[in-house]
Chains A and B, each alone.
Chain A
Amino acid sequence: MTGRRTITLVARREIRDRLRSRAFLYSTLLMLLLVGGSTALNSVVSREQSYRVAVTAPVPRGLDAALQRAATPFDANVRLHVLSSAAAGREQLDAKKVDALLLLRNDRLVFRANVDTKLAAVADTAVRALRRHLPPAPELTTATLRPPDVKTTDAATAVAYIGSLLLLMSLAVYGQWVLTSVVEEKSNRVVELILSTVRPRHLLAGKVIGIGLLGVAQLALVAGLASVLLAAGVFDAPASLGGSLALVVPWFALGFALYAVAYAAAGALASRQQDASSAGQAVTYTLLGAYFVSYVALSADSSGTFAHVLTVFPLTSPLVLPARSALVGVPLWEHALAVVLVLGSIDALVRLAGRVYAHGLLRSGSRLGLRTAWRLSHRP
């Protein structure tokens, strides 16, 4: 019998066990409701958006009405500011008196620094209607007065912090599941029967993979819903951020593998259900520490040396990478290095945890000291 088959069997049992408990289904529903609910709230709370658009005289008849018609589906309205010249329009745009300048003679819609896709769509539709043109060629090309702001938008910051908070919570919650699962098997004493045919590291891997898959499925549902909503423009944020949000899922998988193995080892060290929480605390504190260090480093300077170090440091990279890629973008080599280092750490941790697991699982009498675990890790 191959290790892979054993791991699959163990993983499948874990998944079935969790699905049977219903807690998983309820928590998934709750998370989906939270995301969906925040969307609904967002659209209720956000009032009608109004745009100020400058246009040079003479204004074609019907432009105002056409703009209003086009804006209605977007929950927006448009106020026209008629000016004498394009130069005056540019001045007003630069002074933030208007949001865009419509130059009908050049088929051009000029923004200050960032293109507002919603307003661009409204103006394009209105002008097309006025000229009785048919799609698909765009009527207007967009332009900006200045190069776009490289400064991150509020939405990017929100995605970065909400994403890493989501990661932190998921790592802690699913890690705790692994811990509970290990301690349960130990207190049920079923572990002796299992280990008579299964290698400890296969049991460990099966558990982590099984619970991890459930976690990924749950997160993918939630992050997927959020990405779709982002892409659909429900949140007032650039659609590209959906990609950063999607990064949360693979990094959850890597981060989870790392921390879950640590949780499993902690569970193997605990002797009873009552000890489980205290055994898991060391891992939880490490995780929280990693989160706070990352948070502080990213808030201070998301492109600084420290942030770069944290991006590739295995304990922090699962939390830092998705956040930094939303904030400032991360070069490909840093992605690659982080993945390699995390995978290496997972491998090392699995070996150590396998030993602790094998040694600690059958001891139910006393808690196994960390010193013993350390000694075990150094045995050939």
Chain B
Amino acid sequence: MWAMLTLADARKRFGPIEALDGCSFSVDRGRMLGFLGPNGAGKTTAMRAVFGLVQLDGGEVLWDGRPVGLEERLRFGYMPEERGLYPRMPVGEQLAYFGQLHGLTADAARAAASGWLERLGLADRIGAKLEELSHGNQQRVQLAAALLHEPELLVLDEPFAGLDPVAVRTLAETLRGEAARGAAVLFSSHQLELVQDICEEVAIVDRGRVVAAGAVAELRRRSQRRQIALQLDGAPPQWLPDVPGVELVQRRNGDLRLVADSRVDPQQVLAEAERTARVVGFSYGPPSLAELFLELVGR
């Protein structure tokens, strides 16, 4: 069976820049995929390709195994990286317009618009022009424009950028709700802790191709490296455990952060430490998503 959205070997070149170089990934119904990568990795280009805003030089965008066309895109929701709505158009009318462009009837679009404004706490601003709203509220309207027609696929480019912690939590809940409703959710972000918290799956893209994809826990576990943190009391200043495959990342006071090959036995490191000083704290585990990201795309 096909995943809902599949990018298959997508290629796009802008002059000398290879924006997409055989980029492939997929998002399933009811799943949330975090799309990660350094600036210029090709995330926005890939997202635009889903909406036909970028004509691919090669490869395909598939929906249920078939090439995506305008009919399919009507059932998609999109929040572009560069936010933009009509500044002088009343908020309610504006949302209803986007709903209708997605194929809702005028009545259904109006009802959905007022429903979403209610949910976002903007019910009393339905007749206000967009430009009269605060920046944060404009962002909410932008989100509503993407969600209004209950899309089957939701694509959001950097939706968390510039949000305060409360707004981040609200948006994360909204997106989880959309996935629970059955939508496939794809979003890009640089906030890796956040992605680790709210996403089951990620795709990490670098230089136009996916370098890692899958469940976050699985990717972390599969890493060749392990993180070791040691808190020592009374260790010599330059002390390091004499275990092959262990490297120092950072030393501050008595705290050591080490990275080890996954085949290294942590007990061996702990035993070495106990021989030299009193061990106050010890932790061992797979790298965090942020560390994994740096490991994969760090230059």
**Would you call A308 an interface residue if the criterion is a C-beta within 8 Å of the partner chain's C-beta atoms?**
no
- Are B53 and A197 in touch, CB under 8 angstroms? no
Dominant secondary structure at the B interface: loop
Of the candidates A13, A17, A21, A196, the one whose C-beta lies within 8 Å of that of B51 is A196
Of the candidates B80, B82, B83, B89, the one whose C-beta lies within 8 Å of that of A17 is B89
- Are A196 and B76 in touch, CB under 8 angstroms? yes
Chain B's nearest CB lies how many Å from the CB of A373?
16
Residue of B nearest to A195 (CB): B53
Measured between alpha carbons, how far is A195 from B51 in the docked complex, in Å? 8
Residue of A nearest to B106 (CB): A9
Chain A's nearest CB lies how many Å from the CB of B39?
16
Residues of B within 8 A of A193 (CB): 78, 80, 84-85, 98, 145
- Are B87 and A188 in touch, CB under 8 angstroms? yes
**Would you call B101 an interface residue if the criterion is a C-beta within 8 Å of the partner chain's C-beta atoms?**
yes
Residue of A nearest to B71 (CB): A1
Residue of B nearest to A379 (CB): B55
Q: Mark B78-102, 1 if CB is under 8 A from A, else 0.
A: 1010111111110001000110111
**Would you call B168 an interface residue if the criterion is a C-beta within 8 Å of the partner chain's C-beta atoms?**
no
Number of interface residues of B (CB under 8 A): 28
**Would you call A6 an interface residue if the criterion is a C-beta within 8 Å of the partner chain's C-beta atoms?**
yes
**Would you call A328 an interface residue if the criterion is a C-beta within 8 Å of the partner chain's C-beta atoms?**
no
- Are A196 and B78 in touch, CB under 8 angstroms? yes
Residues facing B in A186-206 (CB within 8 A) are 188-199
- Are A197 and B84 in touch, CB under 8 angstroms? no
Measured between alpha carbons, how far is A199 from B51 in the docked complex, in Å? 11
**Would you call B73 an interface residue if the criterion is a C-beta within 8 Å of the partner chain's C-beta atoms?**
yes
- Are A189 and B53 in touch, CB under 8 angstroms? no
Residues of B within 8 A of A9 (CB): 97, 100-101
Chain A's nearest CB lies how many Å from the CB of B188?
15
- Are B53 and A196 in touch, CB under 8 angstroms? yes
Residues of A within 8 A of B48 (CB): 192, 362
- Are A192 and B53 in touch, CB under 8 angstroms? yes
Q: Mark B49-90, 1 if CB is under 8 A from A, else 0.
A: 001111000000000000000110110101010111111110
Residues of B within 8 A of A16 (CB): 93
Residues facing A in B210-253 (CB within 8 A) are none
- Are A188 and B85 in touch, CB under 8 angstroms? yes
- Are B84 and A192 in touch, CB under 8 angstroms? yes
Residues of B within 8 A of A1 (CB): 70-71, 74, 102-103
- Are A13 and B97 in touch, CB under 8 angstroms? yes
- Are B80 and A197 in touch, CB under 8 angstroms? no
Number of interface residues of A (CB under 8 A): 21
**Would you call A20 an interface residue if the criterion is a C-beta within 8 Å of the partner chain's C-beta atoms?**
yes
Of the candidates B53, B74, B86, the one whose C-beta lies within 8 Å of that of A190 is B86
Chain B's nearest CB lies how many Å from the CB of A356?
14
Measured between alpha carbons, how far is A14 from B218 in the docked complex, in Å? 51
Residues of A within 8 A of B52 (CB): 196
- Are A6 and B85 in touch, CB under 8 angstroms? no
Q: Mark A1-36, 1 if CB is under 8 A from B, else 0.
A: 100001001000100110011000000000000000
Chain B's nearest CB lies how many Å from the CB of A82?
73
Of the candidates A13, A194, A197, A362, the one whose C-beta lies within 8 Å of that of B70 is A197
Chain B's nearest CB lies how many Å from the CB of A182?
13
Measured between alpha carbons, how far is A3 from B89 in the docked complex, in Å? 23
Residue of A nearest to B97 (CB): A13
Residue of A nearest to B90 (CB): A20
Chain A's nearest CB lies how many Å from the CB of B56?
14
Most chain B CB within 10 A, of A16, A197, A362, is at A197
- Are A189 and B83 in touch, CB under 8 angstroms? yes
Residues of A within 8 A of B82 (CB): 189, 192
Residues of A within 8 A of B103 (CB): 1
Of the candidates B74, B78, B86, B145, the one whose C-beta lies within 8 Å of that of A188 is B86
Chain A's nearest CB lies how many Å from the CB of B57?
13
Measured between alpha carbons, how far is A196 from B52 in the docked complex, in Å? 7
Of the candidates A17, A191, A199, the one whose C-beta lies within 8 Å of that of B84 is A191
A195-B51, A196-B51, A198-B101 given; A188·B73 CB < 8 A? no
4 nearest A-B residue pairs (beta carbon): A189-B84, A196-B51, A190-B84, A192-B80
- Given A190-B85, A197-B73, 14 extra CB contacts under 8 A: A1-B102, A21-B88, A188-B84, A188-B87, A192-B82, A192-B84, A193-B145, A194-B101, A195-B53, A196-B53, A196-B73, A196-B80, A197-B51, A197-B102
Could you list 18 examples of A-B contacts with CB < 8 Å?
A1-B70, A1-B71, A1-B74, A9-B97, A21-B88, A190-B86, A192-B53, A192-B78, A192-B80, A193-B85, A194-B101, A196-B51, A196-B76, A196-B78, A196-B80, A197-B76, A199-B70, A362-B48
Chain B residues in the interface with A (C-beta under 8 A): 48, 51-54, 70-71, 73-74, 76, 78, 80, 82-89, 93, 97-98, 100-103, 145
Chain A residues in the interface with B (C-beta under 8 A): 1, 6, 9, 13, 16-17, 20-21, 188-199, 362
